[in-house]
Structure 1
Amino acid sequence: METVEKERDAKLAPYLRQAHAMFRNGFEDEEMKKIFLRNTFEEICSNEHKFCFDKSLSFCLEEMIKESDMETVLKFFDSLSGDWEEIAHSPSGSHVLQTIFGKIISDIELSKKPHESDIKSELLGIIKHFVTLVEGNLNEMMKDPNGSHVFRSLYQTLAGVLLSDSRKSDSEPDIILAKGKVPKNFLKMLKKLTTNIIEAPRFNELIGNAHGSVCIALMVEVLHKRSLMKTQGVFCEKMLSHLKDDSMIIMMKDKHASRIFEKILKFGNKNTKIALRKVLFDDEKRFFELSAHPVANYVVQRMISSAHDSEVFKEVFDYVCRGFEDILESQNYGIMQKLCEQCLEYPDTQKQFYDKLLESFHCTDIEKRTAFISLISTLRTHDSYFNSSTAKITSVEYHGSVLLQTLLKFDNIGLIAKSMSHTPVSDIVTLACDGSGSHFVESYLTTDKLKFKVKKEFLEKVGDGWLAIACDKYGSRVVEKMWDASDIAVKRLLIKILLKNADAMAQDQFGKFVCRKVQMKRYQTRPEEWESIQKDICQKRKMFADIIPKTDSAKRVKR
């Protein structure tokens, strides 16, 4: 008998590979595909668990599970029940289980009518059995590199939520099933599982664990997206009560545990956010130590971006501003960036933010303010920049460029415009031809806040420098984007400037695309036709620009 079974096993592996090859070739209709898949899974019956441990065969199973009907998938899932725990902890098997849970969510989402009662009953029974198994080995499952993925898939299935970062493509949106589609027993099991986790005797071990911390962070997010705020609130409050203030600070510095605090600040309820802010603000010296820490500073960033109330943000803003220069010295520019982004929501703080920047970069004097662009783009103080051997921009800091782009969204950009008018042409060319700096120059030249007079002065000032910009990999994109966003008056001016070096541009690998974009040959030979075409383009752009804001505002009112 054993010899017969071994021979059968040896034949089934090639059979599964062949069946998978036929499956990938496609079928004439859906019914044929379903029958084929059902027969394939029946043929490999009693050997499924062995194939789950094989890397190549498990991949075949995953692809076929995704296209099978729910009845076939549940039979397959149930047949693995005797080896669930071993499969969950294996590298290949864990992927098979994750695929099954993903299939359950997508099948419920796409189903237009409720599942037949017998299938629904079978689904609930199998899931309940699996949840019981997980509850008996919570710590081991959540701390295991493979088992933790299975736990996260199970938790999302119970909630009827499939997060985009849990799938292969982050660009795909989250799947959040309508509450009516999620079986009530699923939500009961979800709440019970959440309670069991927080009351587990070794729960604290999970917080600092590389895999356990990801599970807890996901739980906070899933409960928020499922709108189970009461369950989430109890879970977060009990978790914080497990930790003393000192141990909480230590956890914030841990690269694994810190992500939990970030998720709580992003998705937690009001009480938990207040509790965390209280811990952070309790000691000013400690707060700025955290701000300077390579890991904990991300928790501070999340605290800033989660301040969606004017009073709360004002408190956070004032507190952070006390050590603004120290934060810059620690080179954790993300905190400064998040503060700047939040100032867009609360315009009253914008002037104060400008003042803090000027103070921190030692350029509060009116004469020194003209170097504002150079200082921010290089992230150097006025003293450091002008005391160096070469007081010019040699390279652009990424965070400096991003900060300048955000500042361009402020209500008042007079300081930036004035500084750009005083920035040397060589530095402007360096900015425009830099991978990071080019995005700032592009944003500056395409903003609607600049008057035509300012743009005209800037274009004429750069003059022949446009040749170097147009013939650069990044600079050519700046010219093209500016061209698309400009009105006919700016286009007339720009093409006259570019015309002086048209031959040199036409022979350059990047410049030739700029010539094509601005229709240089047509302008040289048929200027009137060029004028007419450009006027039509600008008119259409303006027409759509007038329509889009109305649509957006209508949506806001509807909300």
Structure 2
Amino acid sequence: MIIMGKFKQNSSTDTEPKVKIGVLKEETLNYYRRVSQSLDGGFDNEEDKNLFVNNVVSQLNEEAISVAQNQTASRIIEDLITLCDKDQVRCLITAFSQDWYTVCTDRFASHVLQKLLMTLPGYLSKSGESTLRDKDNNKDEKTLEQLLLLLCDFVEEHIEQFVSHMYASHIVRVLLEVVGGVSVEEKLVRSKLSRGQNKEQKEMFKPCDMPEPVKEKLSTLTDNIMSLNNLEGCLTETLSTTVIQTLLLVLHRRNPQLCQEHCQKILQVSSLLSDTSAEDTEDSGLPPLVQNVSGSYLMEQLLALSSETVHQEMMTKLFQGKALLFAVDPQANFVLQKVFTTIKDSNQFKVLFKELSHHIEDILAIHHLGVISKVAETCQRLACCQDKFVKHLQKAFHCYKPEERRKSIVPLLSSLSTYEVLYNTDSPKGGKMSESSIEKPAPLKPPLSQVNLHGSVILQHMLRFEDPSPAVDSLLSLDPVQLVQLACNPCGSHIVDTFYKSSSVSGNCKEQMIQRLKGCYLELACSKNGSRALQTIWDCSSLKQKTGLAEELSKHESKLQGDQFGRFMHRNFAIYHFIHRRKDWRELQGAKIKKTQNV
């Protein structure tokens, strides 16, 4: 086959046409399309498959790089690699080793190399590497381990360029995973564009123990990356910062002590914890790193991976006294959310909470809802500041005074509207009703068909508080129509789920909810989200409550069976047995309840 290669310039003449990178002759491309058809069609037996793969790999030996640079052919090779054995993988990597630079920096060939590299942990962690040479009795052929070490050496030589290269940076990331024997999250290894083009999840390999020479390469690669001349600039550059994040994640699993050392080095290089850091802050009073999109992601990793001592130092020097600045910044607020996720000391949390508690309404006004959600989550997790949080939240939604307004917290959080907006009143923050608002009666039943995601999450945390009464009382004050709207909403249904699953909510309150929903079970059962909420109610109900629920649904058996969601409720609740074999139904449900209680 004749393959068209890269752009080439002939020094002897300027009249020769330039050849485009990745463009194959039609006959070559057709060959690989036929290969793709054969792969899709499958093989009758293992022998046929091995013969076919061997033939294609033999063909690729001479043209692997040029073919891998073609968009269509590269994806076909990636599919082929999933069928390759150890020796065939070695042959392909050997072909790529003829020009590491081109393969690492090419848009499509780099993906093929990534695919090959991800197969290596499964081979190198097993014994029998030396048999590869014996198979063809060729001592000049390099083993997989040797090829991997050669690639590591090459990447180390070009690390300055590769860490910020559009395609080579992906090779560096995967290489760190492979030599470390640890597979990290897909979102750190593949770009958004790459993940969008390929909907399949990244192949994750199991943690494995790599050979000693390979393990040593993790240390040398680490030293090269952390000794970059422009390390400070790399901390805010999109591609290089993800390389550093991958490095830290791998080290966290393989060498925690070294990971901590490099976490501290990054903090030192960025001057985040130094006394002079204030001089380097932007006009907003925050360090540039946390205001940068890429830098903020790195900061989140540092918070997640740092030791308690370093975490404590970050809290004291970086966040205390600046929590509100973080909360209102478009990018730094995500770092603050990570702080709440990782914080373990309730005293530290109380300090940050005090700074933010009087500004909840301001934070909500600029739509940084995730900050408030994380505050609620931390209040629940650390079991502190719960009453204060509810009080300040009610003040933020203007329903703290007068007292009767407090039962409206569920509709207000669901819609993320203040009391005056939702109920169309002219009352000021203090809660004193004006004459106009008294004359104009407020609607008593605002619809709950639209539920905000963050509002739902906050309510779920409130239902898990030690005293969930503010959220419980508000839920029980809703009329059946509002409860059904809430349960049939994608976000609202999770509020109903949490209400029944929470150990803080009393059985008496759950019984009241069941009574309020009587007459609405069919509507719930025939709703996509409502049926899921109804399933949770069923799972948490007593035999008496289940009997009442089944009694109501049994009157509409035909409608249940004819509905795409209702038929599952008909089956799960054994409505047929309830109607025709009531005694057996009671025994079955009683046994299930006992089994659940024992678990």
TM-score when normalising by structure 2: 0.78
Does 1:186 find its partner at 2:200? no
Structure 2 counterpart of 1:154: 175
Q: 1 CA distance for matches of 2:512 and 2:39?
A: 65
Shift of 1:396: 1.4
AA partner of residue 345 (structure 1): R
- Aligned residues of 2:487 and 2:524 also touching (Cα < 8 A): yes
Label 1:420 to 1:43 Cα distance change in 2 as closer, same or farther (>3 A).
closer
Structure 1 counterpart of 2:249: 221
Label 1:190 to 1:497 Cα distance change in 2 as closer, same or farther (>3 A).
same
Label 1:369 to 1:304 Cα distance change in 2 as closer, same or farther (>3 A).
same
Does 1:382 find its partner at 2:419? yes
Q: 1 CA distance for matches of 2:515 and 2:69?
A: 69
Q: 1 CA distance for matches of 2:385 and 2:109?
A: 53
User: In the TM superposition, what whole-angstrom CA distance separates every residue of 1:148-189 from its partner, at most 9, and x where no partner exists?
Assistant: 2111111111111122414878877954524xx212222322
User: In the TM superposition, what whole-angstrom CA distance separates every residue of 1:183-220 from its partner, at most 9, and x where no partner exists?
Assistant: 22223222222222222122233222222222222222
User: In the TM superposition, what whole-angstrom CA distance separates every residue of 1:88-129 from its partner, at most 9, and x where no partner exists?
Assistant: 2222101111011101023235x3x35338779733432232
User: In the TM superposition, what whole-angstrom CA distance separates every residue of 1:27-60 from its partner, at most 9, and x where no partner exists?
Assistant: 5665664455344323432211111111222223
Report SS of the residue matched to 1:151: helix
AA partner of residue 533 (structure 1): W
Counterpart mapping for 1:132-147 below 5 A: 132-147=153-168
User: In the TM superposition, what whole-angstrom CA distance separates every residue of 1:229-273 from its partner, at most 9, and x where no partner exists?
Assistant: 232223222222222433572221222221111111112333543
AA partner of residue 163 (structure 1): V
Match of 1:371 among 374, 383, 408: 408
Shift of 1:296: 1.7
Label 1:81 to 1:362 Cα distance change in 2 as closer, same or farther (>3 A).
same
AA partner of residue 209 (structure 1): E
Q: 2 CA distance for matches of 1:69 and 1:121?
A: 16
Does 1:261 find its partner at 2:315? no
- Aligned residues of 2:290 and 2:335 also touching (Cα < 8 A): yes
Q: 2 CA distance for matches of 1:512 and 1:71?
A: 53
Match of 1:490 among 537, 545, 567: 545
- Aligned residues of 1:472 and 1:511 also touching (Cα < 8 A): yes
- Structure 2 gap ranges (5+): 6-18, 134-140, 191-197, 272-276, 426-441
AA partner of residue 258 (structure 2): T
Report SS of the residue matched to 1:161: coil
Does 1:419 find its partner at 2:480? no
- Aligned residues of 2:379 and 2:386 also touching (Cα < 8 A): yes
Label 1:500 to 1:419 Cα distance change in 2 as closer, same or farther (>3 A).
farther
AA partner of residue 328 (structure 2): A
Match of 1:42 among 55, 58, 80: 58
Q: 2 CA distance for matches of 1:503 and 1:118?
A: 67
Structure 2 counterpart of 1:273: 311
Report SS of the residue matched to 1:442: helix
Q: 2 CA distance for matches of 1:259 and 1:129?
A: 32
Structure 2 counterpart of 1:241: 268
Q: 2 CA distance for matches of 1:517 and 1:53?
A: 54
Counterpart mapping for 1:403-552 below 5 A: 403-447=458-502, 449-498=504-553, 514=569, 517-518=572-573, 520=575, 523=578, 526=580, 529-547=581-599
Report SS of the residue matched to 1:144: coil
Does 1:330 find its partner at 2:366? yes
Structure 1 counterpart of 2:195: none
Label 1:404 to 1:11 Cα distance change in 2 as closer, same or farther (>3 A).
same
- Aligned residues of 2:130 and 2:143 also touching (Cα < 8 A): no
Structure 2 counterpart of 1:393: 447
Q: 2 CA distance for matches of 1:322 and 1:196?
A: 47
Does 1:116 find its partner at 2:130? yes
Structure 1 counterpart of 2:289: 251
Q: What is the aligned-residue identity percentage?
A: 23
- Aligned residues of 1:101 and 1:153 also touching (Cα < 8 A): yes
Does 1:361 find its partner at 2:413? no
Q: 1 CA distance for matches of 2:563 and 2:78?
A: 50
AA partner of residue 532 (structure 2): R
Q: 1 CA distance for matches of 2:540 and 2:199?
A: 32
Report SS of the residue matched to 1:162: coil
- Aligned residues of 1:291 and 1:332 also touching (Cα < 8 A): yes
AA partner of residue 146 (structure 1): Y
Does 1:177 find its partner at 2:231? no
Counterpart mapping for 1:286-305 below 5 A: 287-305=323-341
Does 1:54 find its partner at 2:108? no
Shift of 1:390: 4.2
AA partner of residue 237 (structure 2): N
Q: 2 CA distance for matches of 1:177 and 1:319?
A: 42
AA partner of residue 162 (structure 1): S
TM-score when normalising by structure 1: 0.84
- Aligned residues of 1:164 and 1:173 also touching (Cα < 8 A): no
AA partner of residue 433 (structure 1): C
Report SS of the residue matched to 1:163: coil
- Aligned residues of 1:456 and 1:493 also touching (Cα < 8 A): no
Report SS of the residue matched to 1:474: helix
Label 1:420 to 1:45 Cα distance change in 2 as closer, same or farther (>3 A).
closer
Shift of 1:83: 1.9
Shift of 1:483: 2.2
Report SS of the residue matched to 2:238: coil
- Structure 1 gap ranges (5+): 548-559
Q: 1 CA distance for matches of 2:339 and 2:43?
A: 53
- Provide the alpha-carbon RMSD of the alignment: 3.6
AA partner of residue 71 (structure 2): K
Report SS of the residue matched to 2:367: coil
AA partner of residue 247 (structure 2): M
Match of 2:88 among 62, 72, 86: 72
Aligned length: 536
AA partner of residue 305 (structure 2): F
Structure 1 counterpart of 2:194: none
- Aligned residues of 1:139 and 1:206 also touching (Cα < 8 A): no
Q: 1 CA distance for matches of 2:2 and 2:183?
A: 43
Structure 2 counterpart of 1:552: none
Q: 2 CA distance for matches of 1:398 and 1:465?
A: 24
